[in-house]
């Protein structure tokens, strides 16, 4: 297993070394996602997560080049204000201004004629509007339903100019369309009511085409937490038998939805579509003479959990970062000390420097690989698939951690550890060469460094940089203390006990990375999401209530149990 991990680690680093980033057209989509994350977390009073999102924006923004110096400088200035904001209100205001400044820069780089865009939008939408008007005039419900479906499909295809030019008008049009959908889905659709609703919708569309911003702005600060609150209140009203009240509560949800939808559409397009499609239907279903309360609550529960999955961050701590380096560094340290101790006992104390030179070479080459990995991750070629790569690399890191954990478990006894050290020493001594020992030292450090890189690639993108660096610093300090103690103790400390503790911690971290990585792939729509009702989101340990994430984590637990049983039988 260990040889397999060694070869995999070195092979991955070689692949990364040979990888050459390819230039691609500059995209700002990932920057808007970072702003959205910062807004969500600021609204939820999650200061650390908001700062992490801003840090990610800063990191990505540093690689952006633009000939429009004034517009770029404005983004820089507002970004500095957002990072230095001392209050929630100041940061929210700065983030809003940052989004506008970034959009202004984007418009300068890709100039468009907004008036022409509005006119083109009106021209494209006119046939669908006329068809819906004719269907309303006929009074034929099936015809109205068919026309509305075409009308809505057309809107979804051409809505972008409205959203980009006026979020207020976009929100008003979306809400008015949802209310028509509610009327159409009711038990006895009221044609006159739909006609009145359509007239208001038509006026909003005509105002936009004419360049008039007549939308009524929805006041207040709303977030994903607000959506969850409305769903919980609607469920409570359903339980109390107040179906009219629950219907009104979902109407409130629909009114604020345009203010929050981007937080979901950028993370889970499928969920965004289902909420827009199904919520108006639930409003009507609650007002029917026969209400299927159980089915409605089930739908609301599913939406609630999926929103909560987006809301729950995969937060890693400094101890997660410290544990990885501590585990990998400990093994390399023990091998280096064992080799140095052998030379001293053999009367070749002066030759120990070659052991340390080999170790230093391993550290330097690992650092080069780390820089290459960082460069590739920040390459423009992966901007649109960053989260996809994070998910897959996280799973690779977890797989390697399982292998490391099993290896650690096999060394967590005195006899096993002594056999391992004897083998490492024997392979160097048999060559009768100090160079061979230096090579063992180099490979030990570089191998652990390569594994560490893979593990860090799985967690670093979801950590605040300060926490990440602090974790590494803590690990270095602990390793320095351990090195001092081990040298002074001359092998009297039971090293196998260190490994027994490290084994448990590695398995816990692997459990977390598996859950977080599968969750990331679910948000990207790469794998399915099957909600398991009644279970909470516990992002601290990477637990998400979906069948897919739990299957991955159960697989880990089965492997751990198998490793324990195997070791007991072997002993």
Quick: pLDDT tens for 532-556: 777 777 766 778 888 888 898 898 8
What are the tokens at 69?
């110096």
How much is the pLDDT for 471? 79
Residue 404 lies in a domain: yes
Q: Are residues 338 and 284 in the same domain?
A: no
How much is the pLDDT for 203? 92
Lowest-pLDDT range of 175-189, 438-452, 463-477, 480-494: 438-452
Task: Return the higher-pLDDT residue of 71 and 23.
Answer: 71
What is the pLDDT of the chain when averaged over all its residues? 74
Range of the domain at 304: 218-312
Q: What's the rounded Cα separation, in Å, for the pair 311 and 203?
A: 36
Q: Are residues 426 and 548 in the same domain?
A: yes
Residues 6 or more apart whose Cβ sits within 8 Å of residue 346? none
Cα 355–361–362 angle (5° rounding)?
Answer: 90
Last residue of a domain, one of 267, 297, 312: 312
Last residue of a domain, one of 255, 287, 312: 312
Residue 134 lies in a domain: no
How much is the pLDDT for 27? 63
Residue 156 lies in a domain: no
When pLDDT is averaged across residues 439-444 and rounded to a whole number, the result is 62
Q: What's the rounded Cα separation, in Å, for the pair 491 and 341?
A: 10
Residue 194 lies in a domain: no
Give the number of domains in the chain: 3
Last residue of a domain, one of 291, 312, 333: 312
Say if residue 10's pLDDT is above 50.
no
Cβ neighbours of 336 (radius 10 Å): 22
When pLDDT is averaged across residues 37-57 and rounded to a whole number, the result is 79
When pLDDT is averaged across residues 174-203 and rounded to a whole number, the result is 88
Task: Return the higher-pLDDT residue of 160 and 427.
Answer: 160
Query: SS3 of 538, please?
Result: strand
Lowest-pLDDT range of 123-132, 179-188, 255-264: 255-264
CA nearest neighbour of 161 among 195, 203, 200, 211: 211
Say if residue 211's pLDDT is above 80.
yes
How much is the pLDDT for 25? 44
How much is the pLDDT for 242? 93
How much is the pLDDT for 450? 60
When pLDDT is averaged across residues 299-310 and rounded to a whole number, the result is 85
Say if residue 148's pLDDT is above 60.
yes
How much is the pLDDT for 475? 81
Q: What's the rounded Cα separation, in Å, for the pair 369 and 449?
A: 9
Q: What's the rounded Cα separation, in Å, for the pair 241 and 209?
A: 44
How much is the pLDDT for 510? 74
Q: Are residues 365 and 482 in the same domain?
A: yes
Q: Are residues 361 and 497 in the same domain?
A: yes
Confidence band (pLDDT; 50, 70, 90) for 289? confident
Residue 144 lies in a domain: no
Q: Are residues 306 and 392 in the same domain?
A: no
Residue 306 lies in a domain: yes
Q: Are residues 507 and 365 in the same domain?
A: yes
How much is the pLDDT for 6? 43
Residue 19 lies in a domain: no
How much is the pLDDT for 414? 46
Q: Are residues 279 and 326 in the same domain?
A: no
Q: Are residues 354 and 491 in the same domain?
A: yes
What are the tokens at 374?
């960082």
Cβ atoms of 531 and 545 within 8 Å: the answer is yes
When pLDDT is averaged across residues 86-112 and rounded to a whole number, the result is 81
How much is the pLDDT for 21? 38
Say if residue 500's pLDDT is above 70.
no
Say if residue 131's pLDDT is above 90.
yes
How much is the pLDDT for 43? 75
Q: Are residues 299 and 373 in the same domain?
A: no
pTM of the prediction?
0.49
Q: Which of 181-190, 243-252, 402-411, 423-432 has the highest average model confidence (pLDDT)?
A: 243-252
What are the tokens at 123?
């021209």
Query: SS3 of 531, please?
Result: strand
Helices (H), 224-292: 224-239, 243-265, 269-285
Q: Are residues 527 and 406 in the same domain?
A: yes
Residue 539 lies in a domain: yes
Q: Are residues 245 and 270 in the same domain?
A: yes
Rg of the chain on CA atoms, in Å? 30
Q: Are residues 327 and 442 in the same domain?
A: yes
When pLDDT is averaged across residues 366-373 and rounded to a whole number, the result is 62
């Amino acid at each position: 297993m260990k040889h397999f991990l060694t070869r995999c680690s070195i092979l991955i680093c070689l692949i990364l070394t040979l990888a050459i980033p390819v230039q691609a057209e500059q995209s700002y989509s990932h920057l808007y996602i970072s702003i959205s994350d910062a807004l969500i977390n600021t609204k939820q009073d999650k200061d650390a997560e908001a700062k992490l999102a801003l840090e990610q924006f800063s990191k990505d923004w540093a690689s952006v080049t633009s000939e429009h110096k004034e517009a770029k400088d404005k983004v820089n200035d507002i970004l500095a204000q957002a990072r230095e904001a001392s209050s929630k209100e100041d940061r929210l205001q700065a983030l809003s201004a940052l989004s506008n400044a970034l959009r202004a820069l984007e418009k300068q780089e890709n100039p468009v004629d907004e008036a022409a865009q509005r006119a083109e939008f009106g021209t494209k939408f006119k046939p669908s509007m006329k068809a819906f008007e004719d269907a309303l005039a006929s009074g034929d419900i099936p015809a109205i339903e068919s026309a509305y479906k075409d009308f809505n499909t057309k809107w979804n295809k051409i809505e972008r100019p409205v959203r980009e030019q006026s979020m207020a008008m976009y929100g008003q049009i979306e809400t008015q369309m949802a209310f028509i959908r509610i009327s159409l889905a009711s038990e006895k659709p009221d044609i006159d009511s739909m006609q009145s609703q359509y007239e208001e919708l038509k006026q909003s569309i005509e105002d936009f085409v004419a360049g008039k911003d007549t939308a009524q702005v929805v006041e207040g600060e709303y977030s994903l937490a607000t959506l969850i609150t409305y769903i919980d209140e609607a469920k409570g009203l359903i339980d109390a038998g107040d179906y009219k009240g629950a219907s009104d509560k979902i109407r409130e949800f629909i009114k604020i939805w345009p203010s929050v939808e981007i937080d979901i559409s950028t993370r889970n397009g499928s969920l965004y579509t289902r909420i827009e499609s199904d919520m108006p239907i639930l409003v009507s279903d609650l007002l029917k003479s026969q209400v299927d309360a159980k089915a409605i609550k089930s739908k609301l529960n599913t939406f609630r959990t999926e929103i909560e999955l987006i809301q729950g961050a995969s937060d890693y701590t400094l101890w997660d970062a410290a544990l990885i380096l501590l585990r990998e560094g400990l093994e390399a340290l023990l091998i280096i000390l064992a080799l140095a101790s052998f030379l001293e006992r053999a009367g070749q104390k002066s030759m120990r420097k070659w052991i340390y030179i080999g170790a230093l070479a391993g550290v330097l080459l690992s650092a080069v690989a780390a820089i290459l990995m960082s460069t590739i991750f920040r390459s423009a070629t992966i901007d649109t698939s960053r989260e996809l790569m994070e998910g897959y690399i996280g799973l690779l890191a977890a797989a390697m951690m399982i292998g490391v954990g099993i290896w650690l478990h096999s060394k967590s006894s005195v006899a096993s550890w002594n056999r391992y050290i004897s083998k490492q020493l024997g392979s160097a001594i048999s060559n009768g060469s100090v160079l061979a020992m230096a090579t063992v030292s180099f490979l030990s450090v570089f191998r652990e460094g390569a594994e560490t890189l893979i593990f860090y690639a799985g967690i670093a993108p979801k950590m605040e940089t300060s926490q990440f660096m602090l974790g590494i610093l803590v690990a270095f300090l602990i390793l320095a203390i351990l090195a001092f103690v081990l040298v002074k103790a001359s092998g009297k400390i039971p090293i196998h006990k260190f490994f027994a503790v490290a084994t448990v911690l590695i398995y816990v971290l692997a459990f977390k990375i598996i859950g977080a990585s599968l969750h990331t792939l679910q948000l990207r729509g790469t794998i399915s999401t099957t909600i398991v009702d009644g279970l909470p989101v516990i992002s601290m340990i990477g637990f998400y209530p979906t069948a897919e994430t739990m299957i991955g984590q159960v697989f880990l637990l089965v492997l751990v149990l198998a490793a324990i049983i195997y070791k007991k039988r072997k002993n």
